[in-house]
Chain A
Amino acid sequence: GENVEQHPSTLSVQEGDSAVIKCTYSDSASNYFPWYKQELGKRPQLIIDIRSNVGEKKDQRIAVTLNKTAKHFSLHITETQPEDSAVYFCAAKGVTPGSARQLTFGSGTQLTVLP
């Protein structure tokens, strides 16, 4: 089945700096790659997603890039703010009968934005 690896597990940046989180996936047929933000004790919330027919997507300070050949995708947060501090999860969704209905998540990145 699908396997998603996420790096780094922890990331500390100064307020205003950029943060980059990287994920790799194993199933070359995966076609949907969302990123979720989870604050302590809260539910995961979708912050941005990208489909396999797109190489890059941007939403204000957040962008995601996808390299299908290398099977990796990255989250970029610019001009970080203290409220960006949270755990970020990448995920992938496959197309095979055994994977088309589920998201496979990475292990998460604890982002801390230092004031």
Chain B
Amino acid sequence: DAGVTQSPTHLIKTRGQQVTLRCSPKSGHDTVSWYQQALGQGPQFIFQYYEEEERQRGNFPDRFSGHQFPNYSSELNVNALLLGDSALYLCASSRGPGGTGELFFGEGSRLTVL
């Protein structure tokens, strides 16, 4: 059983560019959440997708957007990249949008903005 898979694993962009990160949830999971983890910090919630809709959003600007597809996979898009967007972007999947079910994290996509 493949867990949560993310791509790409590493990427380098320059300020002002746009980036798309991809995530496939663990088998049997229908909910995808995205987190940003800056170096030396805990993950910060960006948003959650369930039934192809954004269900909750953290304190992130509109430059951060996402999408969920019918097969439950998800994309995170970041426009107009800033140096401060450099971080590890973690995708986490779960069964159902709420409750206290375990979150399974992917290995992350490490974004460097120059």
Contacts and interface: CB of A to CB of B under 8 A. Distances in A.
A105 interface: yes
Interface in A85-100: 89, 91, 93, 98, 100
Given A32-B100, A101-B55, A43 B41 contact: no
A45 B43 contact: no
A102 B45 contact: yes
A98 B43 contact: no
Interface of A is mostly: strand
A44 B90 CA distance: 9
A100 B98 contact: yes
* Among A34, A46, A105: residue with most chain B CB under 10 A: A105
Contacts, number: 57
B38 to A, nearest CB: 10
Given A49-B102, A93-B100, A101-B97, A108 B41 contact: yes
Contacts of B104: 46
A22 interface: no
B103 A46 contact: yes
